[in-house]
Each structure stands twice: as C-alpha cells, then as structure tokens.
Amino acid sequence: MENFYLTIALSPLIGAIIAGFFGRILGRTATHTITILGVLISTVLALMVFNYHVLEQGEVFNQNLYTWMQIGGLNISVGFLVDNLTSVMLVVVSFVSLMVHIYTIGYMHNDKDYTKFFSYISLFTFSMFMLVMSNNFMQLFFGWEAVGLVSYLLIGFWHHKESAVEANLKAFLVNRVGDFGFLLGIGLVLAFSGSLDYVEVFASLNNTIGQSLWGMDLITVICLLLFVGAMGKSAQVPLHVWLPGSMEGPTPISALIHAATMVTAGIFMVSRMSPMFEMSEVALTVVMVVGAITALFMGLLGIVQNDIKKVVAYSTLSQLGYMTVALGVSAYSVAIFHLMTHAFFKALLFLGAGSVIVAMHHEQDIRKMGGLRKKMPITYWTGLIGTLALIGFPGFSGFYSKDMIIEAVHFSSLPYADWVYYAVVAGVFITAFYSFRLFFLVFHGQSRVDSHTAQHLHESPLSITLPLIMLAIPSAIIGYFTIEPMLFTGWLDNAITVDGLKHTSMHELSKLFHGATAMISHAVQTLPFWMMVGGIASAWVFSLYKTQWADWVQSTFKRTNYVLNSLYGFDRFNEIVFVNGIKKLGNILWKVSDSMVIDSMIVNGSARFIGFVGSMVRPIQTGYVYHYAFFMIFSLLIILTWTLFMGDKPLLVI
C-alpha cells in the first residue's frame, strides 16, 4: 500500500520537476500534458483511497517509509497517516488542483513563463499532499513551509509588477510570524512527549496534566502556539493581512491558494490536533473568538471592495473565520465539512472571476462591468451557482455546512458563545450582500464596459469553462449527499476526538437534524435564512440605485466608510510599528554595533592602537648600535636592581 500512497504524492512532484527543468525544451503542450497527467493520476488514486477508507471503512494506514534523520534517541521519519480525514482532504486538494491545471491552459496561454507556472502549481500540489498525509510534526512542518515557499513564488510570479513583489514579501513575512509560533509549539510537543509522531504524542497527553508554563497549563500554551501557526496559514485576524494582497498573483493560483490548499492547512492542522485542543477550554475559546472576529469584520471589508478578485478574497477570509469558529466549539467535522464545500464553490468563484477578467482584457474593477450575462452565459450560470452556495442558499452545498456551523455555535456552552452566535448570524447578511452586489454589478444592469472591449466580449474558451462546469456540480449537490455521513454516521470518527461530556454541540445537532431535507424545512424558519434574504434584497436595491445609494452611504457613514476603506488600519499599523520600527531598530544597530563598536572600536580602533604603539616605539628605533647598547645596559641595570632589592618576586606578572 505504501507505493500506492507514494504515487499520489510523487506524481505531481515528477510533473513539476519535468516542467521546471525541461519545459522549454518539451514545449507548452507537452509540459501541461505531463503536469495535468501527474495530478490526474493523484486524483484517481485519491478517489480510490476515499472509497477504501471512507466508504468501505478500511483500516487506517500509518507507516514510516524511511528515517529522515536521527538525533540521539529521536527518530524523525517520512511516513504517511491515511485515515478518513486524510482521504477527504486528498480528494478535495487533488480535484480542485486538477481543475486549476486545466484552467491554466486557457488563462496563461499568452504568458512567456507558461511552463514555469505549471511547474510551480504542480509543486504546490505535492507540498499540500505531503502536509495532509504526514504522520508526524516534522513532516507536517515540511509541507507547511513548502506551501508557503511555493505561494511566495506564485504570488510574485509576475515579478515585473512592483505590487506583486510587495505582496509576496508580505505573505512570506506574515507567515513567518505564524510559523515562529507554530515551531515553538512543535518544540514544546517534543519536550513533553519525547516524540514527534502523532500517535505517540497523543498517547502521552496525560503527561501534560498538572504541568504549567508561563502561568498557564502546558497544554493550553502548546495549543495556542500551534494555533498561531494556523492563524498565519489560514489568515485569521491579525495575521490576515497577506491574503488580500495575494490577488496580485495570476487567478489560477488565487483559486488554488484560497480554495483547497494553503489557507485550509490551518483548519486541517487544528482538526488533526483535536485530542490536544479538547484538553484546553481556554484554547478553544480563543480559537472561537478569533474566528468570529475574522468572519464578521473581514466580511464587512468585502462590501467596499471594487476589485472583483478582492471581493472574493475577503469572502475567503470570512469563510475561514466560520471554519475556525466551528473548530472552537469542537465541531471539527463541521469545520472539515465546510472546508470541503467551500473548496469547490470558492474555486468556482475565483475561476469565474478569472473568466470575466480574461473577457474584459484584464480589467478587474466591477464598476466598469455590467450586463455580461448575455455575452458569457456559462460563466454567468456557474457564477450564480457558486454565489448561491457561498451565501448558504437552501439546497446548495454551502447551506448545509454554514448552517451547521451556526447551529453548533448556538448549542455551545463556551464563554462568549452567545456573542459569537450573533456575529456569525450577522455575517450571513453581510455575505449575501457583498456576494450579490458583485454578481449584480458584473452580470446585470446596463453595460459599463468601454466600447473597444465590448466589441470583442465573448465567452471564455473550453479550457476555462470546463473547470467552471465541473466545479459547479459539487458546489450545487455535494452538501446534500455528504452531510449525514460526514457529520452524523461516522465518516470522521476515527480521525477526530471530541470530549462529549464537555462539548455537546454535535450531539445536540444530531438530535435536531435527521437529514438534508429536514435542514431545509428548518432553515426557512430561522433568523439566518431571513438575514440572507435581506442581504440579497439589499444588494438588488443597491445595484438598481448604485449612484444614489453610494452617495448616501458615503455622506451618512463617513467614518465607517473611512475605517472600512482603510482596512481597519491594520496595514497602516504594521507599516508604522513593524516596518518603520524595524527600520529604526536597524539604523540604531547599524550606528551602535556596526559604526561605533565594529568600525570605530574594533576595526579602526585596532588600527589606531597599532599606529599609536608604533608612534611610541618608532623614535627609539634609530638604527644606531650605541643606542641599542645603551638600552641593553639600562635594562640589565633594572634587572640587577630588582633582583638585589626585591628578592625572589618576579619582575613581570603575566
């Protein structure tokens, strides 16, 4: 079996190596064929793994393949842990990645670095496979850092754009902050358990009982540090600032980063570490509150964005907040369920946005669009499906997963759960408003497209529309068919640990809902449903009276509008405190350590000291023999005098 799992991981890597080193020699067609074939193999095998582990309830595979390094008694191995959680992640990552690879053929066909881009996205897929299949913290960290590295390369892929270079640097640096906390957490795991293997670590969790660090329970400190890593990768406040900037990269990588891979790594990691998080109510409360803040306040930012990709980007931030809230209330399976449904409809929305951008000759301002429905029917209908799934319209995939998150919070007994409930319910209205604001402004109303672009406006080629259709299908139906097995009949039971005595939300949900149809009938009677309807209606009114509405909002809510357009001042704060602060610290260190200590004292000071000693010695080095004879006789007299009067005391003490 190990060769089976190795093939899943290595197929994209082999494609990435061939495309990277030989792409220009092989040509474009051969390059994209090889890389797509590699991901296709992984997708087919991932479906077979899903069938074996999830549908047939096969045995969990946990095996080390070889020893990576050995430090004393610590063995760090490369190995795979494949259970139901891994199987679900493999299907999601491989399928979305396959769609992105196919989509890239049409989107990047004019790019001079076409083959290099295919190499990068295949390498990205390999990195995510290594992350989700790992059976130890070190391999997890390898995949964690690998997706970060490749995202840096892809966000700044168009390196001729200064904004792209700034964006990839921001993404890299912000993730280093999160990864620093993550690495400290891994170090503490090794300290208390003596191992980095998941099974051994979870088996030794009782060793943390009664131990404290920094005035808190040891397990709480560990979980909070691990969550700092998740905050970086999954873009939670305040480490969210890198993700909107990642829109500077080509649209295919926006879909890959935001939908199925990098940003979901933190959600997956916390779910995998559920045995640890279940031991700390403090950590779970922090996770829940941070998720609620992200879900609500990042959604508000989507309202004021006019760049089509940035609207979808802030939507990703908000939806990641929902997933994080689910983790905080111990509804790990619900978080993974929303991760899965979100991957499909968010990839669909990003790729749909890319289809519009291509048709609009890379215009991204939604205020310059309008009336594209007739010109781009496939993009329109698939975009409608993705939008309905995103807002949680009854019957679509996002409805089941998002509604379950809201209900899980409603049943939670954690501190601040009431506040979090109202935050996520308010987020339903906000999501519906900014989603349909985007949809109406792009596809409905009068055309605001310039005449030159309008003459050449048409539907995107098959390489772009085919992935849209393939992603629209699961966006519409997968929630209906998977909610019961995913949440209530044990798909994830062998991979997730929940303390049922402390956290009863899933138990209460299982009593309330007995199927997808029951959820729909229940939903239309709830506050979130009517909040969603209100959001759609408000967006429709806004699109009809856009100019008057915008003027009224700007004049009435000047301060609010300023706060939202300034992105709550996070970028400004980081610029003043961290960027300028580090510059000033660097200047101080340069002036004190480099200029004063090293240059003035050590380097130049040594030279001046030698020069001083030389200037003192030089006058007595005359070259006359009688001068040297005088000094010899004088020195001899001093030695004899010392010997006679000081006895056996040494002349010089060294």
- Give the mean pLDDT of the chain: 87
- Is the distance from CB of 201 to CB of 195 less than 8 angstroms? yes
Q: Which residue has the higher pLDDT, 593 or 95?
A: 95
pLDDT digits (tens, 9 = 90+) for 249-279: 888 887 887 666 778 889 999 999 999 999 9
pLDDT of residue 475: 94
63-72, 255-264, 400-409, 421-430 — which is least confidently predicted?
Answer: 255-264
pLDDT of residue 300: 92
pLDDT of residue 547: 57
pLDDT of residue 554: 63
Q: How far apart are the first and last CA of the chain?
A: 72
Res. 653: pLDDT tops 60:
no
| Other Cβ atoms closer than 10 A to 651 | 9
Helices (H), 493-569: 505-512, 516-523, 527-544, 546-556, 558-565
Res. 451: pLDDT tops 80:
no
pLDDT digits (tens, 9 = 90+) for 595-640: 888 887 888 888 888 888 888 877 777 778 877 888 888 888 888 8
pLDDT of residue 85: 93
Query: Among 100, 122, 119, which Cα is nearest to 466's?
Result: 100
Measure the CA–CA gap between 81 and 132, rounded to whole angstroms.
8
Measure the CA–CA gap between 405 and 392, rounded to whole angstroms.
11
DSSP character at residue 488: T
pLDDT of residue 262: 77
pLDDT of residue 448: 84
Measure the CA–CA gap between 7 and 14, rounded to whole angstroms.
10
The distance between the two most distant Cα atoms of the chain, rounded to a whole number of Å, is 118
Query: Among 571, 479, 468, 460, which Cα is nearest to 520's?
Result: 479
Res. 562: pLDDT tops 90:
no
- Is the distance from CB of 431 to CB of 535 less than 8 angstroms? yes
Res. 654: pLDDT tops 50:
no
Measure the CA–CA gap between 271 and 336, rounded to whole angstroms.
8
pTM of the complete model: 0.89
Measure the CA–CA gap between 388 and 377, rounded to whole angstroms.
16
DSSP character at residue 306: -
Q: Which residues 6+ apart lie within 8 Å of 323 measured at CB?
A: 234, 264, 267, 291, 335, 338, 339, 342, 405
DSSP character at residue 624: -
Res. 537: pLDDT tops 50:
yes
- Is the distance from CB of 260 to CB of 96 less than 8 angstroms? yes
The backbone torsions φ and ψ at residue 63, rounded to the nearest 5 degrees and listed phi first, read -150, 140
- Is the distance from CB of 398 to CB of 341 less than 8 angstroms? yes
pLDDT digits (tens, 9 = 90+) for 179-236: 999 999 999 999 988 889 999 999 998 888 888 887 889 999 999 999 999 999 998 9
Query: Among 161, 170, 165, 229, which Cα is nearest to 578's?
Result: 170
Exposed/middle/buried for residue 650 (C-beta within 10 Å: 0-12, 13-18, 19+): exposed
Q: Which residues 6+ apart lie within 8 Å of 110 measured at CB?
A: none
pLDDT of residue 413: 84
Long-range contacts of 572-581 (CB under 8 A, 24+ apart): 574/241
pLDDT of residue 420: 94
pLDDT of residue 109: 87
